[in-house]
């Protein structure tokens, strides 16, 4: 929407008026047909149309361009009255600078600063609208002004509440709220601890059964090893007994041999041909045979 023509001092060129709202161009854009519009006006028009509102020539939003520079300059130089003139502001300045003025205008209408806020959410805030210059005076009497209690409880108090304010009951209520919050928190912590303990317990039980099965496994392995050892031990014992027996026999044999060796050979027996020796076993070879037989018997036993 454009600026109301009535606010301008002196003549305003027809070309600086919006073809849609017929007010002075605000934030202007220009069509290829050189008709100009406020940007909000033409954007609104093009939602339902696809032509220029002035001459009906085809128009798309992408065809819109900034206004010619000389027209922008003309627009910027127009003299306009402050929008807060009805509130008493007499300021007139160029369209280019009017916004800066209006932002700081003493006659600007403001909402009371007690219109809402942290401590006022339970009450309707102050509905009063005052000019910037009289805000301070209003705040001194504003019903919704809050102030820290003078009796020392620390509560923020509205002017309207001061009469029925009671520090003790106020503090008591606050205490109740705090106590409830604390209970809530304690309960929360307790629940959390319990759930943590529960999960630890579950973990321990799991671990225990795992360890038990491992112990069983080890026990099985141990008994297998033990039986192997027993078998090996008995085998070793048998082997050693055999060795001892063999030792004994060896000693006996040696003894025998020694005794045989010491007996003098019969001188009557002449050195016979070797074939005869084989046929007639000498007493010595007889003894050897006997020993051999004996040792065979031993192995059978
Ligand atoms: Zn317009
Ligand atoms: Zn046009
Ligand atoms: Zn003003
Ligand atoms: Zn107020
Ligand atoms: Zn108090």
Centre of ligand 2 to C-alpha 55, Å, is 5
CA 189 – ligand 5 centroid, Å: 34
At 147, is the secondary structure helix, strand, or coil? strand
Question: What distance in angstroms lies between residue 58's CA and the mean position of ligand 2's atoms?
Answer: 9
- Of the listed ligands, the closest to the CA of 156 is 5
Q: Are residues 152 and 90 in the same domain?
A: no
Å from CA of 164 to ligand 4 middle: 20
95: domain CATH number? Answer: 3.30.40.10
Q: What angle do CA 102, 105, 108 make, to 5 degrees?
A: 85
Cα 225 to Cα 211, 215, 238, 239, distances in angstroms: 21, 15, 20, 21
> What is the model's pLDDT at position 275?
47
Within this chain, do residues 190 and 295 fall inside the same structural domain, yes or no? Answer: yes
Ligand in nearest proximity to the CA of 160 = 4
Cα of 153 from ligand 4 centre, angstroms:
24
Going from the Cα of 245 to the center of ligand 1, the distance in angstroms, rounded, reads 131
Ligand 1: distance of its center to the CA of 64 in Å? 14
The ranges of the chain with pLDDT < 70 are 116-124, 263-301
Give residue 99 CA to ligand 3 midpoint distance, Å.
Answer: 10
Question: Over 102-162, what HEC string results?
Answer: HHHCCCCEEECCCCCCCCCCCCCCCCCEEEHHHHHHHHHHCCCCEEECCCCCCCEEEHHHH
What's the pLDDT at 297? 54
Residue 96: CB partners within 8 Å, gap ≥ 6? Answer: 76, 77
Collect residues with CB below 5 Å from ion ligand 2.
33, 35, 52, 54-55
Residue 132 sits in the same domain as residue 74: no
Tell me, in angstroms, the distance from the centre of ligand 4 to residue 147's CA. 13
Give me the number of domains the chain comprises.
Answer: 3
Residue 184 Cα to ligand 5 midpoint, Å, equals 27
pLDDT of residue 120: 46
CB neighbour list of residue 45: distance below 8 Å, 6 or more residues apart: 20, 37, 53
pTM of the model: 0.48
Place of tokens 């600026």: 3
User: Is 245 among the domain residues?
Assistant: yes
Query: Residues in the chain, how many?
Result: 301
CA–CA gap between residue 38 and residue 25 (Å, rounded): 5
Distance 69 CA to ligand 1 centre (A): 19
In this prediction, residue 266 carries a pLDDT of 53
Q: 16 and 59, same structural domain?
A: yes
Pick the ligand that lies closest to the CA of residue 80: 3
Is residue 262 assigned to a domain?
Answer: no
Q: What is the pLDDT at residue 122?
A: 47
Kindly give the distance from the C-alpha atom of residue 3 to the centroid of ligand 3, in angstroms, as a whole number.
15
Query: According to the model, what pLDDT value does residue 162 have?
Result: 77
The pLDDT tens digits for 98-108 are: 999 999 999 99
- Considering the domain architecture, whether residues 11 and 92 belong to the same structural domain is answered as yes
- 211 plus 301 within the same structural domain: yes
Domain that holds residue 225: 185-256+289-301
């Amino acid at each position: 929407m454009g600026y109301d023509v009535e606010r301008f001092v002196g003549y305003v060129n027809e070309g600086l008026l919006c073809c849609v709202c017929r007010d002075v161009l605000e934030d202007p854009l220009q069509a290829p047909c050189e008709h100009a519009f406020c940007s909000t006006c033409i954007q609104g028009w093009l939602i339902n149309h696809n032509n220029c509102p002035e001459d009906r020539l085809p128009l798309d939003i992408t065809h819109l361009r900034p206004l010619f520079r000389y027209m922008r300059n003309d627009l910027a130089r127009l003299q306009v009255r402050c929008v807060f003139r009805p509130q008493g502001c007499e300021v007139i300045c160029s369209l280019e600078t009017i916004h800066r003025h209006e932002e700081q205008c003493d006659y600007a209408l403001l909402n009371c600063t007690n219109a809402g806020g942290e401590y006022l959410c339970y009450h309707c805030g102050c509905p009063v609208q005052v000019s910037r210059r009289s805000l301070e005076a209003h705040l001194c009497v504003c019903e919704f002004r809050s102030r820290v209690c003078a009796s020392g409880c620390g509560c923020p108090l509205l002017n309207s509440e001061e009469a029925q304010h009671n520090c003790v009951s106020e503090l008591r209520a606050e205490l109740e709220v705090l106590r409830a919050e604390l209970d809530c928190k304690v309960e929360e912590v307790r629940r959390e601890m319990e759930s943590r303990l529960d999960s630890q317990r579950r973990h321990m039980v799991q671990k225990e059964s795992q360890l038990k099965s491992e112990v069983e496994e080890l026990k099985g392995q141990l008994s297998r090893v033990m039986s192997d050892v027993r078998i090996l031990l008995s085998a070793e014992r048998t082997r050693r007994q055999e060795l001892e027996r063999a030792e004994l026999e060896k000693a006996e044999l040696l003894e025998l041999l020694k005794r045989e060796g010491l007996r003098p050979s019969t001188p009557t027996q002449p050195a016979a041909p070797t074939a005869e020796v084989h046929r007639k076993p000498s007493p010595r070879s007889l003894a050897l045979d006997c020993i051999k037989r004996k040792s065979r018997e031993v192995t059978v036993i």
